[in-house]
Homo-oligomer: A and B are copies of this chain.
């Protein structure tokens, strides 16, 4: 029996150079959930169903497993096909794992003991899945709370737990969703530590790419190197979302990088790189965009747009704090951008009037930013009782219109893009064209775009930036020329 290695997987980490996620993080989430649920329905039990492996079409190869986020938030379980149960009366929690056949040990690895899983996840009880109905019957609570509700970014519906025989219980699938979604908006101190870690790893990866990117490389080679950096150094097996690595004109394609535009252009000398990428650590996601000239030196034209966006970004940092409406922050960043574009000679006339005409959405069709957490576009943006989504250009793409509160984590990501169809539409619309200076504007056709995206924490006093990348023109040029070292950003 020699050489049996210690099972290091009993910790939620990927070695001592990575962040150790304590099981208390999920215990605390469950505790918070129980406290909220007791206010509305005392004698109930919450049932959540974890994710399952997903085959690639009809093959026996699976996508690498990702845990469902509500389940992850509540239990932190990394294995597939589990159920979790929280008794609101006692506050006790239960996990149910599939009973695996003995052959599993041959193909997939040693069968994990229930006791080991109980220890790993620090729950009160562990069982096999088949025992779920029996446990529920014994508990005999008034209501079985399951999760059902819309994701307001995708329009899809959260995964509702189910099992054979669930119809024998009094299922309530309305109460749980708004409560748990809202709790996910507010990060605990333990969650904030994990978020800081994944944002730091992703920041370091971006800094690395800024120094290795060069003309002649293909965009996807930077994507590849970024993913490697986050995984190898930070244990991020997944990326938070598909990497957007646009160079030149592609930097104006907001969701570049998908299979139709797979980061497959060669980066040309003199062009801007807009790299929007983030690692994902046990589900917790970073979402950072840097924009920089591939050759390390901004042209005057690039500097105008870059600094306009940076001013817009910094204005939000300055104004943002608890009590401030996110919609107002969006409009503030819009206003600053328009002012700067006017100063740069691209626009003319009254900025107030431009704001009334939603002119900023011509240059920044997307929202200022979004909640960030276990999902890249994190949940809770438009719960029933929250301010509704606007219909106005730009604002309609804002993923929440809520008021800032302490412990929210969001992105601040103003941008400015020169997108031909939007410019053409604006030029053809007298209400908008009067503000445009075509002779100048047309020199920016094909320029691409700039986005500056930070991941930030709302604190009592204001906004703290978790992102650690060079941001001013000077910082970027210094960093890319090798002047500064990592210490400045860590």
Q: Does A2 contact B (CB under 8 A)?
A: yes
Rounded to whole angstroms, the CA-CA distance of A485 and B158 in the bound complex is: 53
Q: Does A84 contact B (CB under 8 A)?
A: no
207-255 of chain A: CB within 8 A of chain B: 218, 220-221, 223-225, 227-228, 231-232, 235, 237, 240-242, 248-250, 253-255
Q: Does A15 contact B (CB under 8 A)?
A: yes
Chain B residues contacting A261 (CB-CB under 8 Å) are 9, 108-109
Chain B residues contacting A369 (CB-CB under 8 Å) are none
Q: Does A113 contact B (CB under 8 A)?
A: no
Chain B proximity mask over A103-121: 1 for CB below 8 Å, otherwise 0: 0011111101000000000
Q: Which one, B3, B78, B221, B266, contacts A447 given CB within 8 A?
A: B3
Q: Which one, B56, B156, B242, B447, contacts A58 given CB within 8 A?
A: B156
Closest to A235 in B: B220
Q: In the complex, are the beta carbons of A15 and B218 less than 8 A apart?
A: yes
Q: Which one, B109, B256, B262, B421, contacts A253 given CB within 8 A?
A: B109
Q: Which one, B3, B65, B110, B154, contacts A60 given CB within 8 A?
A: B154
Chain B residues contacting A259 (CB-CB under 8 Å) are 53, 64-65, 78-80
Q: Does A140 contact B (CB under 8 A)?
A: no
CB within 8 Å for A60 and B151 given contacts A1-B445, A5-B248, A8-B264: yes
Q: In the complex, are the beta carbons of B108 and A377 less than 8 A apart?
A: no
Q: Does A419 contact B (CB under 8 A)?
A: yes
Q: In the complex, are the beta carbons of A224 and B218 less than 8 A apart?
A: no
Q: Which one, B5, B65, B78, B376, contacts A265 given CB within 8 A?
A: B5
Q: In the complex, are the beta carbons of A264 and B59 less than 8 A apart?
A: no
171-223 of chain A: CB within 8 A of chain B: 218, 220-221, 223
Q: In the complex, are the beta carbons of A54 and B54 less than 8 A apart?
A: yes
Rounded to whole angstroms, the CA-CA distance of A105 and B58 in the bound complex is: 32
Chain B proximity mask over A440-453: 1 for CB below 8 Å, otherwise 0: 00010111000000
Q: Does A268 contact B (CB under 8 A)?
A: yes
Q: Does A385 contact B (CB under 8 A)?
A: no
CB within 8 Å for A9 and B264 given contacts A14-B220, A232-B224, A365-B106: yes
Chain B residues contacting A218 (CB-CB under 8 Å) are 14-15
Interface size band for A: 35 or more
CB within 8 Å for A9 and B375 given contacts A156-B58, A254-B107: no
Q: Measured between C-beta atoms, what is the minimum distance from A411 to chain B in Å?
A: 14
CB within 8 Å for A159 and B57 given contacts A80-B259, A218-B14, A265-B8: yes
Closest to A248 in B: B5
Chain B residues contacting A455 (CB-CB under 8 Å) are none
Rounded to whole angstroms, the CA-CA distance of A376 and B151 in the bound complex is: 35
Q: Which one, B3, B108, B264, B447, contacts A255 given CB within 8 A?
A: B108
- A218, A242, A254, most chain B CB atoms within 10 A: A218
Chain B proximity mask over A352-373: 1 for CB below 8 Å, otherwise 0: 0000000000000100000000
Q: In the complex, are the beta carbons of B376 and A59 less than 8 A apart?
A: yes
Q: In the complex, are the beta carbons of B153 and A108 less than 8 A apart?
A: no
Q: Which one, B4, B59, B157, contacts A249 given CB within 8 A?
A: B4
Rounded to whole angstroms, the CA-CA distance of A214 and B106 in the bound complex is: 27
Chain A to chain B contacts (Cβ below 8 Å), 23 pairs: A5-B249, A5-B250, A14-B264, A53-B258, A55-B154, A57-B68, A57-B159, A58-B158, A59-B154, A61-B376, A64-B259, A65-B259, A78-B260, A79-B260, A102-B421, A106-B365, A106-B419, A108-B253, A109-B250, A220-B231, A221-B231, A227-B227, A237-B262
- With A58-B156, A108-B255 known, 20 other A-B pairs at CB within 8 A are A1-B445, A1-B446, A2-B443, A3-B445, A3-B446, A5-B250, A8-B264, A55-B154, A57-B159, A60-B153, A61-B241, A61-B376, A62-B258, A65-B259, A80-B260, A107-B255, A109-B260, A223-B231, A227-B228, A228-B228
Q: Interface residues, chain A, CB within 8 Å of chain B?
A: 1-5, 8-9, 14-15, 51, 53-66, 68-69, 78-80, 102, 105-110, 112, 151, 153-154, 156-159, 218, 220-221, 223-225, 227-228, 231-232, 235, 237, 240-242, 248-250, 253-256, 258-262, 264-266, 268, 271, 365, 375-377, 419, 421-422, 443, 445-447
